[in-house]
Each structure stands twice: as C-alpha cells, then as structure tokens.
Chains A and B, each alone.
Chain A
Amino acid sequence: MVHSVKTKSSAAFLLLVVATGAVFLGALVLTFFVAPTERMMGIVQKIFYFHVPSAIVMGVLFLVCAVASLAYLLKNDSRLDAIGATAAELAVVFGAIALITGPLWARKAWGAWWTWEPRLTLTLLSVFIYAGYLAMRAYGGEKEFSRRVAAGLGLMGAPAYYFIKVAVDKWGGNHPKNVVYGKGEGLMNPDMRLAFFAGLIAVLMLTVTLFVMRYRTRMLKERVDTAISEMQKYDLLEDG
C-alpha cells in the first residue's frame, strides 16, 4: 500500500529545525559559560550535559523501536516499519555518542578509559542489538522478509534490554555505586541543573527533528521504489 507523504518541507518542520538550533545554542552557552566548572573533574565534567541526555534518548528510542516492531508484525503496515527502523537507526547514533563520551568521562573520573560499569556495558550491548537490527535489514535478503525478521529482533530487544540490565547489574557488583550514581546527585548547583535540563531538551528536540527527517526520507524512498517496480511491471523503464 502506498501512503501519501508530503514532499515539500512544511513550515512546521522548518520551525522545528530553527527552534532546535536555537535551543541547542542556548544549551551550549549554558554549559560552557553559565554552569561553573566542576572542581574535581574540570572541563571534562561538561560531557555530562550531553552524555546523559544521549543515553536517555537512546533508551526511549529502543522502546519506540520495540513497540513499532510489535505493531508492524501484527499490522504489516510499512509506516510502522519505517518508525521502527528510524528509531533503531537513531538509537545506534545516540548510543554511539554515549559510548564515545562515556570513556572520556571515565578516564578522568576513574582513571581508566573503559570500566565494565553496568550502565556502560548495558549501553554497549543494546547498541549491538540494534546494530544487528540494521545489519539484518541491509543484508537479510529479500526486502519485505528482512523487515519482518528485523522487527522480530526489535521486539526481542526490549525484554533482552531488561534481562541484560539485571545480569550486568548483578555481575558488575564490584564497582562502588556511590561513585557511579553519585554523578546524578552531584548536580546540586542550580546553574548546573539548568544546563543539564537545557541539554536534555536540546538533545530531545534534535532527536525529534532527525526522526521526522529520516522517517520522511524512508517513506519517500518507499514511494519511489513502488513507482519503479510498477513501471517495470508495465515495461515503461528504459534500460540502465
């Protein structure tokens, strides 16, 4: 089934892009000029304002992907598939951001680039799952079929995320919790808290913007593909 997609950028989307840019700029100003530099961590602590929002967004996107995957398996609607794929794609991007900024933080805070800290491990493994989702779509064979297989994986990802969380929490019990989780409580300074919430909103808005963009691209591509195969059916395409 072909769904109609708006081909022109709507005014609302343009507004969203501008607003996202403005909020991001504001968040950066708050991060670097308003929020005080932390005493122990120095400038590295500012990673926190974008690292944590990226990780939160990643988690939300995983959930979106799982729900969309379930719905796709039940309803077989290509829009649901596009939502799931877009969510997985962005989840991998924001997961990668969290995974790159995490070790930078860890080096300063704990003296090692990588610790098998539960949250970091969980992030790494869930990024693996959704990278597998994307690989499955790319190399899983025939298009419709690989989408269904990827959706099955996307759905399994949510309970797997829960079980991995329980397992690595139990496993990585050697890490002092107050150091790991202390960073959340460390935001006693109101300016820091302001910068954090600004960062959170900025990253959320960026996610929405990218989501709308990628979703639309996907649906447009779907339409072009359908058109091409229709034309091939009636032999209307020139060779090459």
Chain B
Amino acid sequence: MNQHIQHFWVVFRKDIRIELRTREILLTMGLFALLLVVVFSFAFYTDAERSRIYAPGILWTTVVFSGTIGLNRLFERENENGCLSGVLLTPISPRMVFVAKAMGNLLFTLLMEILTVPLLVMFFSLDIQPVGIFLSGLLLGTVGFCFVGTLFAAMLSAARMKEVLVPLVVYPIIVPIIIGGVKVTAVVLNDYPVEEALNWLKLIAGFDLLFVSLAIWLFEPMIAP
C-alpha cells in the first residue's frame, strides 16, 4: 500500500510540476470559464430575481464545458512522443497512473471552479444558502465528471477527433450528475426544502461510487488486452 501511495505521488507530482511550469491547463480552462461566464451574463442576466432560476444551469454548463477543455489538454504531454506508453512501462501499476491523472484533473478542475463560482455569484448577484450543501454538490459532481472524463480522455488521447469524441461519450454518461447538480444548486439558491437537495446528493454520491470504481477498474483492460 505504501508503495502505491509513493507511485501515486510520483505521477501526481509530475503533473503538478509540469502544470506549474507551463500553466497550460489552468490558463486555458480558466480563461475559457471566464469567457463563458461573461457570455452567459450577456445572454441571460436581467435581474437578481430571475437569475436565481438560470444560475444553476449556467454554473453547471460552465463547469462541464470548461472541464472538457481541460480534458482535451490533460494527456497532451503523454501523447507527444508516445510518452503514455513510457509511463505505462514503468513499474507503476496502470491503475495508479490513472488514479493519479484523474486526481490531477480533479485538482485543476476544482481550481477552475474556485475562480468561476465567486464570479458567477457576483455577476448574477446570487445568495447561496446553505453553503455546505452547495459545496458538497459541486465537489461530488466534479469528482464523477473528472474520473469518467479522464478515462475517456486517456483512451482517446491519440485519436484524431478527440475534441469531438470525448464530450460525445462523456456527456450522456454524466447526465445524472448534471441533473442532480443543477437541482442541488437550485435548492440552495431558492430556499427550497433541504431534503430535496439531500436526495439528489445521495444520487450523485451513488453515481460517483459506482463510476469511479468502474473507471479505475476499466482503465487497465481498456488500454491493453
């Protein structure tokens, strides 16, 4: 187990270090998210009253779209010069490689959300109550999205049409997350009964549990027979 954690750290730290030096993923993802928020403001903002209705959808569209930008860049390094085979040839188990890549992706996506969500709250003059439920919805939703997304981003990293194919296969699968996330956000913005949000949180958590384990398990048989 100790060795696994060590392996995890090696791959994870490698991604963080590359990101700190190039800032490729965070910059593209962050700028795109910023742009989306601004465009959505022009498209939807009328007054604080009505923005409470639109804001959940806008938040999750921004998260998923910007997250997709990150997914397309996530394996850029590994794709060059066949580095993914190199990483997989190391004595690190492929599953650990996948978990480390997915956690890196999760970290970047969460950082993007830390930038985006306060901006949305400001631009749309939102009042989030209670914050804990909102944040757990956002976190759980992002976890599921990142693990499923990383799996297919890894598989399609060498494909010519990956920019189209990744969202094409990831979005339909994560629909429960999007529906649940939007519902949870709607509850905290509109003072709906909290039980409703808890029900959706349970659904997203169940989705995460199943799909995160499925993604971790599938990585190895999918990448090589």
Chain A residues with CB under 8 A of B155? 140, 149, 152
List A160-179 residues whose CB lies under 8 Å from chain B: 160, 163-164, 166-168, 170-171
| Chain A window 128-140, contacts with chain B (Cβ cutoff 8 Å), 1 for yes, 0 for no | 1101110110011
| Chain B window 134-175, contacts with chain A (Cβ cutoff 8 Å), 1 for yes, 0 for no | 000000000000001001100110111100010011011101
Q: Nearest-CB distance from B216 to chain A (Å)?
A: 12
Q: Do residues A171 and B156 form an inter-chain contact, with CB atoms below 8 A?
A: no
B211 touches which of A144, A159, A167 (Cβ 8 Å): A159
B165 touches which of A74, A135, A148, A166 (Cβ 8 Å): A135
Residue of B nearest to A126 (CB): B172
Residue of B nearest to A157 (CB): B173
Q: Nearest-CB distance from B223 to chain A (Å)?
A: 8
Q: Nearest-CB distance from A91 to chain B (Å)?
A: 13
- Confirm or deny: B199 has a beta carbon within 8 angstroms of a beta carbon on chain A: yes
List B173-225 residues whose CB lies under 8 Å from chain A: 173, 175-176, 179-180, 183, 199-200, 203, 206-207, 210-211, 214, 218, 221-223, 225
Interface residue total, chain B, C-beta cutoff 8 A: 33
A129 with B176, Cβ < 8 A, contacts A135-B165, A141-B160, A152-B222 known: no
Q: Do residues B179 and A168 form an inter-chain contact, with CB atoms below 8 A?
A: yes
Q: Do residues B203 and A156 form an inter-chain contact, with CB atoms below 8 A?
A: no
A141 and B75 CA atoms in complex are apart in Å by 16
List A139-153 residues whose CB lies under 8 Å from chain B: 139-141, 144, 146, 148-149, 151-153
Chain A contact-residue range equals: 20 to 34
List A60-96 residues whose CB lies under 8 Å from chain B: 73-74, 76
Residue of B nearest to A172 (CB): B179
A128 and B180 CA atoms in complex are apart in Å by 19
A125 touches which of B152, B156, B158, B172 (Cβ 8 Å): B172
Chain B residues with CB under 8 A of A171? 179, 183
- Confirm or deny: A27 has a beta carbon within 8 angstroms of a beta carbon on chain B: no
Q: Do residues A73 and B203 form an inter-chain contact, with CB atoms below 8 A?
A: no
Chain A CB within 10 A, most for which of B159, B160, B199: B159
- Confirm or deny: A155 has a beta carbon within 8 angstroms of a beta carbon on chain B: yes
A170 and B196 CA atoms in complex are apart in Å by 10
B169 touches which of A153, A167, A170 (Cβ 8 Å): A153
Q: Do residues B159 and A160 form an inter-chain contact, with CB atoms below 8 A?
A: no
| Chain B window 29-72, contacts with chain A (Cβ cutoff 8 Å), 1 for yes, 0 for no | 00000000000000000000000000000000000000000000
A132 with B168, Cβ < 8 A, contacts A148-B222, A152-B222, A167-B179 known: yes
A-B contact pairs, 17 of them (CB 8 A): A74-B221, A128-B171, A132-B169, A135-B168, A135-B169, A140-B159, A149-B222, A152-B155, A159-B210, A160-B172, A160-B173, A160-B175, A160-B211, A163-B203, A163-B210, A164-B172, A170-B203
Chain B: residues with CB nearer than 8 A to chain A?
148, 151-152, 155-156, 158-161, 165, 168-169, 171-173, 175-176, 179-180, 183, 199-200, 203, 206-207, 210-211, 214, 218, 221-223, 225
Chain A: residues with CB nearer than 8 A to chain B?
73-74, 76, 125-126, 128-129, 131-133, 135-136, 139-141, 144, 146, 148-149, 151-153, 155-157, 159-160, 163-164, 166-168, 170-171
